[in-house]
Structure 1
Amino acid sequence: MTSINDIALTTLKGEPTTLGAIDGAKLVVNVASKCGLTPQYTALEKLAQDYADRGLTVIGVPCNQFGGQEPGTADEIETFCSTSYGVTFPLLEKTEVNGAGRHPLYAELTAVADDTGEAGDIQWNFEKFLVDADGTVVKRIRPRTEPDAPEVIEAIETVVRPA
């Protein structure tokens, strides 16, 4: 069985990587540039900055499966994220998170249930998964929950190094 940390991924710049290539915990989020939830980029970037020294990396995964809200090219996505929200955290290539073309990473992530016990398809843009350094998904966070919500911060605190 392959660990989630070993699943082949591709960065937005087209370079091969894995979650395991990134030390520490990860917050994996399917993102989109033209969504009502797009302002969550602000809180995601703040988490990335606030927790970088403690071993958390936010990883954005652009996806165009929800209302065509991420239609851009890799360059357009990168420019939008950096100029509109100051995003410095890593972005992966545009990825399918549901359906027949679902990426293997999301096949693993969507098997994890949220706090209500519901697993399965990604509901919308900005669904979040907290993955510890060993590759265990410790929390699934639905799209409308803000990245800086108390329950998200509490979960992050369990997987990062002490302050």
Structure 2
Amino acid sequence: MNIAYLGLGSNQGDRLQHLQQAIQQINRVAGISISRLSSIYETAPVGYVDQGSFFNMVCEIEVELPADVLLSEMLAIEQRLKRTRTIRFGPRTIDIDILLFDHEQIHTRDLIVPHPRMWERAFVIIPLTELIPDYKPPTPEKTIKELGKRLIQEQQIKKLNQVISAT
């Protein structure tokens, strides 16, 4: 059994509903069990900024699947939830990224874990802080909590009172 962390984000349509649907579909995948969910945060877009704000969260899962199969399953969920890829970092109904997969470092054509840009993004680090504050990645050699303290001062992020069920 592996422990993985997924970053979820939505900025089109009913953002909360898209996150809920993604969680429900993740929970239905054979070999995956959702352990914990972070709070939901509203964040400004990064990269392509001419778009609406995002709702973001992190999901901790227990997974029996290899990382490449997990990626395929998450891409299939994105497709079912009508994710389109027209503009890099552009608007989307749902985005599901594999942030961490146990303590593995994976580098293939299709998957890089830990997610290469997660350390600079408050919308990943702040929700991850709720789940694994003392986790220390190989680089940048600070705990998630320490990274979060810096990022929360640099980037716009607002915790919402919305709650999503893991079922």
TM tier, shorter chain? 0.3 to 0.5
What is the TM-score normalised by the length of structure 1?
0.34
Higher strand share: 2
